[in-house]
Amino acid sequence: MTATLVPPAAAQAHRDPNVLRWLGAYTSSMLGDNVYYLALSWAAAQAGTPAEAGLVMSASALPRAVLMLGGGVMADRFGPRRVVVGSDAVRCAAVLAVAALLFLTSPGLWPLALLALVFGTVDAVFMPAVGALPARITGKDQLARVQGLRGLAIRCASVVGAPLGGLGVALGGAPAAFALAGLLIALSLPLLLSVRIRDLPTDTGGPAGSPRADTAWSELKGGLRYVRRHRVLGPLMLAIALGDLGFVGPLNVGLTLLADRRGWGAAGMGWVLAGFGVGAGAASLLLAARGRVPRAGLVAGCACAAGSVAVASLAFVPALAAAVGTAVLVGLLTGLSGALCGAFLQTRADPAYLGRVTAVSGLVSLGLTPLSMPFAAAAIGAFGLGPVYAVSAAVCGLGGVVILAVPALRHAELPG
């Protein structure tokens, strides 16, 4: 697929038809993902025991974590749009094939496990390419807005996707839900193909054009070396790792146990999660509308530190209404910090390295931090909710401390 040069965008990102076509493709793909996960969990629960269903649902995690860095190399080597289009095509074909198989017969768990493995493998390639694509469709001064728009798309997909999947299951069972997921992913393909792609721009933060290494392995090492030596990206990865590591336990397994012990039930937990989503969505909307935040590095560090205090306070709030309000605050503060960190990744990385930079960030957020959830559950059983929430919040707050302690990060600004 030949890249064509795009003139500098005169319009703001949320008014740029090229960006909006990309946003439509991304939203459709994310909606398909959410419907797929609901269909997979439903089909696995119907075909096997709860333990077997759990294994099917977790089957995608290992290939995604192991192959993520290689996916970043592919995004930089072959171009992010080509990789995203190929990944979506494979995911669409796999989901529709399983939908047809389930419609014609009852094969048990093996096709579901195989589908989960395929999805995890393709996700390892898809995610870094998705992260590298915005820099090729708009100007650098609009990348922060694009990050906010992307956050809004993720929130929209998570809110709408589950009811869509449930409707598919209600109307035609798992085959209909899988078919709906495949069609939503397929919808992203023509939109992606209509997006105009710019050639790699030069960047003073890294080598212009990034000469290609001889082997994929040397390209991978070069990308890791680039991140490690970068005065902003290196410490930023540490801040992201600490923030996610402290956040994932309390807001996943910890919240389930908290709702059970407070007597809020599943409905109450849903309200708390909704509150978090509202806060995080508001943070994304702020970045999409403003495009930049003055003293962005300082704001990101302070928001992360303050958000960690809000995370800790969740364990000590007795009433559901107060917990929902606290969750809104958690979502707003941690969402703002996360969105700004994502914008720094987009604007500070040389576009020639952006796939590999995104892969490192994705490996930290999606490959390593989920491993803390079993330890968080065991620690809550041994020490109680309060101490575990406090320790987790302290780890999360260390991410903000890193941002504030490193001058290059603390004084970082967004272009615009």
Task: List Cα–Cα distances, 221 to 224, 227, 228, in angstroms.
Answer: 5, 10, 10
pLDDT tens for residues 231-279? 999 999 999 999 988 887 777 778 888 888 888 887 888 898 889 989 9
Distance between CA atoms of residues 75 and 356, nearest Å: 8
pLDDT tens for residues 5-14? 444 444 688 8
The CATH class of the 13-193 domain is mainly alpha
Asked whether 279 and 400 are in contact (CB, 8 A), the reply is: no
Distance between CA atoms of residues 59 and 37, nearest Å: 12
Task: List Cα–Cα distances, 42 to 107, 167, 237, 319, 334, in angstroms.
Answer: 15, 12, 36, 32, 31
How big is the CA angle at 242 (ends 239 and 246), to the nearest 5 degrees? 140
Q: 13-193 and 217-410: same fold?
A: yes
Encoded tokens for 271? 């309200």
Encoded tokens for 219? 């390209």
Model confidence at 188, pLDDT cuts 50, 70, 90, reads: very high
Around Cβ 405, how many Cβ atoms within 10 Å?
Answer: 13
Position 4 scores a pLDDT of 42
Does residue 207 surpass a pLDDT of 60?
no
Beta strands of 6-93 (E only): which ranges? none
The CATH class of the 217-410 domain is mainly alpha
Mean pLDDT of the chain: 86
pLDDT tens for residues 329-385? 999 999 999 999 999 998 999 988 999 999 999 888 877 777 677 777 788 888 888
pLDDT above 70 as % of the chain: 93
Burial of 288 by CB count in 10 Å (0-12 exposed, 13-18 middle, 19+ buried)?
A: buried
Residues 13-23, mean pLDDT to the nearest whole number: 90
Taking alpha carbons only, the member of 168, 152, 89, 155 closest to residue 122 is: 89
Residues 45-65, mean pLDDT to the nearest whole number: 81
Does residue 204 surpass a pLDDT of 60?
no
- Which residue ranges make up each domain of the chain? 13-193, 217-410
Answer with the residue of higher pLDDT: 207 or 303.
303
Burial of 287 by CB count in 10 Å (0-12 exposed, 13-18 middle, 19+ buried)?
A: buried
- Residue count of the chain, please give it: 416
